[in-house]
Each structure stands twice: as structure tokens, then as C-alpha cells.
Structure 1
Amino acid sequence: MTEHPAPPYNPSPRAHPGLRAIALVEAAKGVLALITASGLELLGPAPLRNAVHVLIHHFELSTTEGPLVWLAGAISTGAVHATAAIATAYGVLHVVEAWGLWRDKVWASWLGCVAAGIYLPFDLYALWRHPGLASVSVLVINLVIVYVLARDLFRRRTRLPT
């Protein structure tokens, strides 16, 4: 009886369907961030400040103190541009990561693993401060992303079959 050798390791995304799912999630996050950045630049500070004042009056909050009053005062042209720039950088990073994961690039798995891992301490803090389904869900999703990407990196390094 002849033994057939094991098929060679196939690092394609089809061998790791989780990579494609993560790529779609990252693409959605990136596109939403880019839409947000565009919206901030198109609106400018005045409509944003007015929206905060509408919230203050709608919820009958203090018009002289509180976080929303502070936010309304902090909204300026420079702050809007800075926030839009940060949202653009965040969006581009996630779109590039999504493209890399979709195209099965090793650097994208590293980028995604590190990026999702950075959120974990904040997820744990959120769970501690605000226990509930939302906090648990976000933590579990980020843990799954880190696991899938780390597993992909490990398999690429050790050439284990899928």
C-alpha cells in the first residue's frame, strides 16, 4: 500500500475563510471612517456645534456645564480638520489592511493582529466599567480576530497544513 504525501500547505485565503471575513469587517470600518471624515469636512464646525446644542436642549441638560457643553465649545475649524485627518488615517489603514488580508499578504495579518490586540486592554476596561452584552461582544470579536490572524501567522511560519 502506497502512502500519499500530504498536500502542500496552501496559504491562500480560501484555506482560511476567517481571513476573508476579517477583511470584510476591516473594509467596512475603513469605509465608514472615510465617510465620517468626509462628512466632517463637508459640514464644518457650525452645524456640528448646532447639533450638540440641539441635543442639550432635547435632553434638557444644563446649558452652562457638562460634557456636551464642553464639546460644543471645543468644536472649531481646527478641531474638525484634525478629527477628519485622524478619521482619514484610520480609514486608510483599515482599507489597506482589508486589501492585504483579501490578497493574502503576510504583512496584513501582522497589521491586523497588532491593531486588534491594541484594543484588548481597552475592551477589558470597558467590560469592567460597563459590563453587558455590548462589552462582551466587542471583546469576543477582537479576541477572535487576534486568534484567527495569529493562527494564520503561525501556520505560515511552521507550514502546518490547514
Structure 2
Amino acid sequence: MVKAAKGLRAVALLEATKGVLSLIVGLGIHTLAGKDLKHACEQLLTHLHLNPASHLPGIFLHAAESLGNINLTLIAVGALLYSCIRFIEAYGLWHSMVWTEWFALVSGGIYLPFEAYEVVVHHNWLSIATLAVNLLIVGYMAWLLRRKPALALAHERNK
């Protein structure tokens, strides 16, 4: 069971990292709410030495213009909720709580069709790596949960 604990802790660290990143993004978006988002984006592009009139920075600026303050607040709240869920999942996995193992299996499984679609449509290394890592986690959780009844039965026989 030591291997299982190490695997769960590795997944817990990944989930905690996702929670931290989501929290940083949510706080960053929250600080932008109520400000002139287009101006902030123009300053960022200038700082990065990108031409706002070129194609990709232009798309970025157009997206910034279309977002209102209400949308930014909702996105920030969503990021905060997502980070809370990831932190709870990380805590539960770290402490080998069975319900979080099921949660990791189901929540990871929900993303698989979307990630597979991204691989088919965009076919880049990031989408392939994301799908591979998620397949590993979902497969590991399924394997671990499948072993639990057999381990419990073996433990009972040894008493």
C-alpha cells in the first residue's frame, strides 16, 4: 500500500498545483475588474514589446474589450471555486480518503472527451500531454479503487 500512497500524493500535488494556479488567475482577474481592461492589455502588450496592431495581440485586445466587469467578477469567482475544489481534492487524496479517489476518477473522466477532441482538432504537444496525464490519473484511480475491495478482503482473512 506504500506505492498507492506515493501515487495518491503525486496526484494530490498535481491537484494542489492546479488549485494554486487557478487562485493566482482568479486574483489576477479580480484585480482587473473595475479597471479599463483594454488599456491594461495595451500596457501589457507594450511591456512585452508586441505590436497591438498585429493579428494575435489584436485578438487579445478585442477579447479584452468584449469582457465587461460583471463577466470578470464571475470568472474570478469561478476560478476561486475551482481552486477550492482542487484544494479539497488534494487534501483528501493526500490523506487517502476514498471519496476523493472516486471524485478524482469521475472529474478526470469528465474531461477526457474534451481533451481527446483537442488532440484531434489542434494536435499539439500541450493537448497531447494533457490528455496523456489525465489518462494516467484516471487509469491509476480506477486501478486503485478496483484493488480496494480485494485488499480489504485479504486484510480480513489475515485477522
CA shift digits 1:138-158 (9 cap, x unpaired): 111000000111111111133
**Rounded Cα–Cα distance in structure 2 between residues aligned with 1:87 and 1:122:** 19
Q: Count how many residue pairs are aligned between Structure 1 and Structure 2.
A: 146
Matched, 1:127 2:116: no
Gaps of 5+ in 2: 155-159
**Rounded Cα–Cα distance in structure 2 between residues aligned with 1:15 and 1:44:** 45
**Rounded Cα–Cα distance in structure 2 between residues aligned with 1:50 and 1:116:** 38
Instruction: Give SS of 1:145's match.
Output: helix
**Rounded Cα–Cα distance in structure 1 between residues aligned with 2:82 and 2:149:** 29
Gaps of 5+ in 1: 1-9
Query: Is contact 2:105–2:142 with CA below 8 Å preserved after alignment?
Result: yes
Whose relative contact order is higher, 1 or 2, with alpha carbons under 8 Å and at least 6 apart?
Answer: 1
> What is the correspondence of 1:8-47 to structure 2 with a 5 Å cutoff?
10=1, 14-16=2-4, 17-46=6-35
> What is the correspondence of 1:53-132 to structure 2 with a 5 Å cutoff?
53=42, 55=45, 58-61=51-54, 67-68=59-60, 70-132=62-124
TM-score w.r.t. the length of structure 2 is 0.80
Q: CA deviation at 1:39?
A: 1.8
TM-score w.r.t. the length of structure 1 is 0.79
**Rounded Cα–Cα distance in structure 2 between residues aligned with 1:144 and 1:48:** 39
Query: Is contact 2:15–2:89 with CA below 8 Å preserved after alignment?
Result: yes
Query: Is contact 2:38–2:61 with CA below 8 Å preserved after alignment?
Result: no
**Rounded Cα–Cα distance in structure 1 between residues aligned with 2:10 and 2:90:** 10
Query: Is contact 1:33–1:90 with CA below 8 Å preserved after alignment?
Result: yes
CA shift digits 1:2-41 (9 cap, x unpaired): xxxxxxxx4xxx3312111100000000011112112222
CA shift digits 1:29-64 (9 cap, x unpaired): 0011112112222232425332444549725247xx
